[in-house]
Structure 1
Amino acid sequence: MTDISRVAVIGAGVIGAGWVARFMENGIDVALFDPAPDAATKVKAVLDNADRAYQKLTMAPRAKRGNLEFSPSLAEAVQGKQLVMEAVPESLALKQSVYKDIESHVDAGVIIASSTSGILPTQLQEKMANPQRLLVAHPFNPVYLLPLVEIVAGEQTSPKVTVAAGEFFNQLGMYSLPIRKEIDAFVADRLLEAVWREALWLVKDGIATTAEIDDAIRFGFGLRWAQMGLFESYRLAGGEAGMRHFIAQFGPCLQWPWTKLTDVPELTDELIDTIARQSDEQSGQYSFRELERIRDDNLIAILQALKINQWGAGETLGRYEQALFDAGAREETATDEDPGQPLLTLERTVPPDWTDYNNHMNESRYLQCFADASDALLRRVGVDADYVADSGSYFTVETHIRHLDEVAALQPIKVTTQVLNGVGKKLHVFHRLFHGDGRLLATAEQLLIHVDLESRKASEPTPEVSKWLTEISAAHAALDMPEGCGRAIGDPH
């Protein structure tokens, strides 16, 4: 694992601000330098969007947000940092000048990563004193949501730097894709630019409008690409015979003179005016920030759907969630809680989509809170991802919930958990859900059974887990029996 907790970001454009959000959401302190007078305003807007997105992205406890410092100079921004992320405009001379300034203020071992979308890292390294420290880490907008980051090494980049950078970005919930050979625009943008060139011709020749082209993508192959990419989709198009049959059937059409991918239309004033007018007609009813939030909401929905199937970017999100859950459990275990009092097992705000038409949290989300609290307790006693991978877990066999009060969207809630019995195969717990103002919103009594996941039968937990649960049970034994414990639905007769 790569232990980087302090970074500098140079440049506060769309990509630089996205990096700031991604870093801060993962508990990393950021020093930002950008001489533009409106840099702080733009970054705040991106951070607000990221905060809104992360409230919806995952049910895992979010890391304690990192701090942001707006530095008055590049020198102050980079001093004492472990990694510097360069996100200045796409000018080779400008980037090389920035690296010269960075190197004069950091130690030789500090990694410098460029967000360039196409300049070769070997060119970027040409005037550096320590070129082995530089590589390209090319992300995709919005950086705080899309997981892909292309890792591109230059001729002088140290292999250790490449490995360390890849591990670091993976810890941020990203998917580090090493690019095998340097090439202008790397891999993803070369594919995007091929589609972009063809789209420009379609608009110029009056074949389709910008809206019609976007519809062709978002209602068709764009949905396939979101989860299977290009080659795997075409493998299915070949039927049972697979890719070989697909190429035999459709390969000859590549020779047909229907594509203009090798030519670029001249961006005349007339073409630019046409594209701008059509784009305004297509989505001008939305503000820039509204479009960003629509985009983010749709991306989150797609990522969550892919997570259900443990596929593609959804699998990356699942790993990230698991790491957040485990990290949250370790952090809670290390607190100075009174072991003789109920444990704090959940603390969050109510997401807007957890509520019904009255803006009250719906019934299923009360159960969600208590299930998450049980998971948090189990992680704290050692039933984490590794434990489950070794074929041990707890299954919930009974839950009784009492709904006592209401809570609305964006209001704070927390759950405390009292262990009534944690000896042997059974785990008997009592949860209390509180509003941030102290009101008791609901209680849940749960019975869980330890299960061997291979045999699917009840089994004893490991000695270490048993020890933890026995100690907590003993500490909670002196507490009063919770009001409502042991109740079923009352019969008024």
Structure 2
Amino acid sequence: MQSDYTNASRIAPDAVKKVGLVGAGTIGAGWATHFLARGLDVIVVAPNPSAEERMRRTIAKAWPVMESKGLAEGASLDRLRFQEKPDGAFSDVDFVQESAPELLDVKNAVIGDISKVIRPDVVVASSASYLTATDIQQHCLNPARLIVGHPFHPVYLLPLVEVVGGRRTSPDTVDWAMKFYSLWGHRPLRCRKEVLGHLGNRLQRALFSEALRLVADGVATTEEVDAAMTNGAGLRLGLLGPFMTRAMAGGDAGPRTVIERQRTNKITFSFERNNPELTDALVDDLVAGVVRQIDGRAIEDLEEARDAYILSLITLRDQALARASVHKTEGTQRDSK
């Protein structure tokens, strides 16, 4: 059974005042911290009575970071409320972010229950890391308004939210979600296709798979693998990403030269055996994509920006780790008294 629904009745993204959250774990607490810091009212559905205390403690711990980042007008921890079921005040929320456990039956049941009590125009976003919107639209009333809005931990600091529609999601819902996340402080990325793990998790899993292999084969320790990433490629990837990093490795030779070299590269790792063939069409697509990213900027200017970024990042990292070491020492001294 589908309720009556028209796109015209949906609230504008910038008019949202009250957000409903389902799930009080790490991701749910991150969303609550973010939305509270943006000056919104937040209602959390958490069936477990102990979840409220735990979540409030987690948010309070993160709040000084949000104060440093900058709170919106009206931002307050007092705007956080809890209830055991999605009823009452929850039925009047303007947007829902679901962060229940990553189990298909659980998410389908939760989303089905939510969709019965909220207004038929309200967008429902799932924080699902691997399940797709199509997977979890099965019991949703008005499935056209359901998307995946997948964040990264910590949600209140990392700007990326992957926005993915399902087979029954309407295009205007995806458009609305993109505007909503952007207006309220994130940097949404519209995913073109539904795939396992979306984009970010696929990249993370590929990296961790090789890291795990190196340790399992006795090539390196966990510390050595982490050092290789945090003192090397990881510093560049945070600014440029894999394709821009590779393209800039060629300097003035240009991105096509660098990408073409892959065709004649004689060194092949085991994990590269299933790589797609670098056809002329794929090379053209890669080059065109990187050229769009460069956007007419001179390579030397990008190199200068990269160098300044890396220098600043190393300094900030060392300072942050030094503070953590001081806190560890202070904690040890307290424990010994």
* Contact kept? 2:116, 2:141, Cα under 8 Å: no
CA displacement 1:337-384 (0-9 Å, x = unmatched): xxxxxxxxxxxxxxxxxxxxxxxxxxxxxxxxxxxxxxxxxxxxxxxx
Q: Which position in structure 2 is the counterpart of 1:175?
A: 187
The CA deviation at 1:163 is 1.2
- Indicate yes or no: 2:73 matched with 1:63: yes
- Indicate yes or no: 2:254 matched with 1:224: no
CA displacement 1:137-191 (0-9 Å, x = unmatched): 0000000011000010111111221111111111221101100111111111111
Q: Pick one of 161, 171, 184 that aligns with 1:149.
A: 161
The CA deviation at 1:136 is 0.5
* Contact kept? 2:38, 2:73, Cα under 8 Å: yes
Q: Which position in structure 1 is the counterpart of 2:121?
A: 109
Q: Which position in structure 1 is the counterpart of 2:335?
A: none
Q: Pick one of 44, 59, 66 that aligns with 1:32.
A: 44
Question: Relative to total residues, which structure has the larger strand share, 1 or 2?
Answer: 1
* Contact kept? 1:234, 1:246, Cα under 8 Å: yes
Cα 1:203–1:254 change in 2 (3 A) is farther
Structure 2 CA distance for aligned equivalents of residues 235 and 220 of structure 1: 17
The CA deviation at 1:249 is 2.9
Structure 2 CA distance for aligned equivalents of residues 252 and 126 of structure 1: 48
Secondary structure at the counterpart of residue 271 of structure 2: coil
- TM-score by length of structure 1 reads 0.51
CA displacement 1:85-107 (0-9 Å, x = unmatched): 11001111111101111122112
Structure 2 CA distance for aligned equivalents of residues 260 and 207 of structure 1: 19
Q: Pick one of 55, 61, 65 that aligns with 1:43.
A: 55
Question: Identity across aligned pairs (percent)?
Answer: 36
CA displacement 1:178-210 (0-9 Å, x = unmatched): 001111111111111100111111111111111
Q: Which position in structure 1 is the counterpart of 2:146?
A: 134
The CA deviation at 1:28 is 0.8
- Indicate yes or no: 2:243 matched with 1:259: no
- TM-score by length of structure 2 reads 0.73
Cα 1:233–1:258 change in 2 (3 A) is same
Structure 1 CA distance for aligned equivalents of residues 21 and 206 of structure 2: 30
The letter for the 2-side match of 1:64 is G
Q: Which position in structure 2 is the counterpart of 1:72?
A: 84
* Contact kept? 1:33, 1:77, Cα under 8 Å: no
Structure 2 CA distance for aligned equivalents of residues 254 and 146 of structure 1: 38
Gaps of 5+ in 1: 263-305, 311-493
Cα 1:100–1:256 change in 2 (3 A) is same
Q: Which position in structure 2 is the counterpart of 1:4?
A: 16
The letter for the 1-side match of 2:67 is Q
* Contact kept? 1:147, 1:173, Cα under 8 Å: yes
The letter for the 2-side match of 1:176 is P
* Contact kept? 1:8, 1:77, Cα under 8 Å: no
Question: What does 1:84-483 correspond to in 2, within 5 Å?
Answer: 84-253=96-265, 256-259=268-271
CA displacement 1:402-456 (0-9 Å, x = unmatched): xxxxxxxxxxxxxxxxxxxxxxxxxxxxxxxxxxxxxxxxxxxxxxxxxxxxxxx
Structure 2 CA distance for aligned equivalents of residues 77 and 195 of structure 1: 43
Structure 2 CA distance for aligned equivalents of residues 69 and 244 of structure 1: 55
The letter for the 1-side match of 2:62 is A
The letter for the 1-side match of 2:74 is K
Structure 2 CA distance for aligned equivalents of residues 50 and 31 of structure 1: 18
Structure 1 CA distance for aligned equivalents of residues 185 and 220 of structure 2: 38
Gaps of 5+ in 2: 1-11, 275-304, 310-337
* Contact kept? 1:194, 1:261, Cα under 8 Å: no
- Number of corresponding residues: 264
